[in-house]
Structure 1
Amino acid sequence: MEKGDDLKIDYIEFNVADIAAAKAFYGRAFGWSFTDYGPSYCEFNDGRLTGGFTNNQPPRPGGGPLVILYADKLEEALEKVEHAGGKIVKPITAFPGGRRFHFLDKDAYELAVWSKT
């Protein structure tokens, strides 16, 4: 770890029903890259943050923290999520500092995407 990394988000892990489906969704929607570590674990990298997909336990739909991604072009991100099979559960809305929408992925995890504009 580097100086300044203390108490910062470092990794996010999702329990998923199907690792290949999770890779297809996040790869298609956001361009993430992946490293497989056997049949039950895959690390993802979004270019800034790493995390993992595992099928060692069943998915925890609706549970856990809300993971928020950033997008320069919010409408394009929403279209990509829908095209990849995500379900929009909160349309684009404004908040102090920007706009965002919420969606469910293939395992019913709720995430959000925000933009300054």
Structure 2
Amino acid sequence: MSNHTIVIPAADLEAATAFYRTAWGAEPHTETPYYVGFNLDGQEIGLNPNGERDQMTGPVVYWATDDLAAKVAEVEAAGGTVVRPVTEVGGGTSLALLTDPAGNQVGFITQG
């Protein structure tokens, strides 16, 4: 796994998938109703149809960590605010979404 994943909110997953297939000239490696994933030269970029529900305000970089709860606590102590607490999203993957002091979103992910 790369050390980060970029996730783009995409309410209309079908339209977004078609757009990014063309824009990036690539086929997704994963295509499910809850996530479409592309690997572009080793960079994971995913489309999330539930981005609005997940309170994403735009594309988010999810940084990989081995201890998600500890990382969230560290980031909160550094002035971050939890937007979406640690959530198991399937396949042994969990993530959390926070904002920095200026309101920019940053995510953290772990895969079990």
Under TM normalisation by the shorter chain, which class is it?
Answer: 0.3 to 0.5
TM-score under structure 2 length normalisation = 0.47
TM-score under structure 1 length normalisation = 0.45
